[in-house]
Amino acid sequence: MKFGVVVFPGSNCDHDAYCAAEIMGQEAQFLWHESRDLQGSDVVILPGGFSYGDYLRTGAIARFAPILSSIKEFASRGGLVIGICNGFQILLEAGLLPGAMLRNRNLKFICRQVNIRVENAFTSFTNACSERQVLQVPIAHAEGNYFADPDTLIGLENSGQIVFRYCTPSGEITPEANPNGSLNNIAGIMSRKGNVLGMMPHPERACNPLLGSSDGRLIFASLIRAISLMGASKPELIKAR
Amino acid sequence: MKANIYVSPKKTVLDPQGATIRAALAGLGFGGVETVRQGKYFQILLSSNLTPAQAREQVERIAREVLTNPVIEEFTFQIEE
């Protein structure tokens, strides 16, 4: 299967994402922001970085890039899209996910390893994790303080769209474990249809034990499994079994 | 024509930058400051070919569709002849 990694001017985790796909034994390709061609990608990754210098607001200019119109169309057909860090911010600005990002509560750029708990293991992004599994993955952002109005937040909670929350090493959701002030300790959410995920932590930077954790591989393994199951759900293949 | 556009965080949204500035002001002895909200200010120079009505319509769209994120921000604007 093919991972398509979008490259904006200012992306800086595009090569990490590409490398993570290769570590998982998959094909990867870069998708230039000015193109409208997703080149047959099975999964589109919007990587971390500072697209267009993060001028105006994080992700505010990137949402007008030509590649975004193709990604919206791909997502509307059920295509799998994952936005990591700046990619999450872009998905929010583009309206593919609800809510917005505020400056971190302490106003600092925070770069460190955090613990996140899998709140929903029945998704295309987490099916290789167990329910409530704690993953160690780094964050690196200044605007990761997730905000949504109360109705939106209740909607996300009730429909299982909150995929990851910041937690303690033992999996407790506490204010102290919340690095940036996100509402309800939210670290990652998905769309109602479940095919678009945004997360602030960087799974692509946690795919090699040399980097301190390889828990991020579970996210890629989940995607690989989801794509193979999509293929297996084709009627002719079911019959072949 | 010139447009002045002011973008500020909605009242229901926590503004950590404003809160930090308020705390700093209190530390400097400005005890009378109750709240600070930090926003953005844009100056846009418009072509003189536009009618005032066209200018208002364009500035309103620019402010709503590009300069603000309606989830967390609101705006006001004035147009100077």
Tell me what the mean pLDDT of segment B21-39 comes to: 94
Q: Is A116 within a domain? A: yes
Report the alpha-carbon distance of residue A223 to residue A81 in Å, rounded: 10
Per-residue DSSP letter, A52: G
* Residue A241 domain flag: no
Write down the pLDDT at residue B81: 80
Residue among B13, B16, B69 whose CB faces A93 most closely? B69
**A141, A143, A204, A207: which one is catalytic?**
A204
Total domains, chain B:
1
CB of A102 less than 8 A from some CB of B: yes
CB contact under 8 A, B69 and A107: no
| b/e code B53-72 from CB counts within 10 Å (16+ = b) | eebeebbeebbeeebbbebb
- Residue A238: inside a domain: no
B31 token code pair: 């005890």
Q: Which domain holds residue A152?
A: 2-231
Neighbours of A144 (CB within 10 A): 28
Cβ atoms B8, B39 nearer than 8 A? yes
Each residue of A27-70: pLDDT tens digit?
999 999 999 999 999 999 999 999 999 999 999 999 999 999 99
Residues A106, B69: C-beta atoms closer than 8 Å: no
Q: Are the beta carbons of A70 and A36 closer than 8 angstroms?
A: yes
Q: Are strands A162-167 and A100-102 parallel, antiparallel or unpaired?
A: unpaired
Asked whether residue A237 is domain-assigned, the answer is no
User: Domain limits at B30?
Assistant: 2-80
The pLDDT of residue A135 is: 98
Residue B24's domain is classified under what CATH number?
3.30.1280.10
Residue-level pLDDT at B74: 97
Dump strand ranges (E) for A33-109: 43-46, 80-84, 100-102
* Residue A83 belongs to domain with CATH number: 3.40.50.880
**Chain A residues inside the 8 Å CB shell of B71:** 92, 98-100, 147-149
Highest averaged pLDDT of the listed ranges A27-31, B10-14, B47-51? A27-31
Q: What is the spatial distance between Cα B41 and Cα A237, in angstroms, rounded to a whole number?
A: 59
Query: Which ranges in chain A belong to alpha helices (H)?
Result: 14-23, 66-76, 86-93, 150-158, 217-232, 235-240
Instruction: For residue range A125-140, list pLDDT tens digits in order.
Output: 999 999 999 999 999 9
State the pairing for strand pair A27-32/A196-199. unpaired
What are the distances in angstroms from CA A176 to CA A161, A182, A185?
Answer: 23, 12, 10
Supply the pLDDT for residue A241.
26
Cα A71 to Cα A112: distance, rounded to the nearest angstrom: 30
Radius of gyration of chain A from its Cα atoms, rounded to whole angstroms: 17
In a domain, A189, yes or no: yes
Find the catalytic residue in A143, A167, A202, A207: A202
With respect to residue A236, please indicate whether it lies within any of the assigned structural domains: no
Distance CA A151, CA A189 (A): 15
Q: How much is the pLDDT for A11?
A: 97
Cβ within 8 Å of residue A240, ≥6 positions away: none
Confidence of residue B14 (pLDDT cuts 50, 70, 90): confident
pLDDT attached to residue A169: 97
Give how many domains chain A has, as a whole number.
Answer: 1
Q: Does A183 touch chain B (CB under 8 A)?
A: no
Looking up tokens 């390893």 gives A113
Return the structure tokens found at A19. Answer: 């490398």
Helices vs strands, H then E, count in chain B: 2, 3
This prediction's pTM = 0.92
Q: pLDDT in tens for each of the 241 residues of chain A?
A: 999 999 999 999 999 999 999 999 999 999 999 999 999 999 999 999 999 999 999 999 999 999 999 999 999 999 999 999 999 999 999 999 999 999 999 999 999 999 999 999 999 999 999 999 999 999 999 999 999 999 999 999 999 999 999 999 999 999 999 999 999 999 999 999 999 999 999 999 999 999 999 999 999 999 999 999 887 654 443 332 2
Q: Are B67 and B4 in contact (CB under 8 A)?
A: no
- Amino acid in position A171: G
Query: Are A199 and A88 a contacting pair, CB within 8 Å?
Result: yes
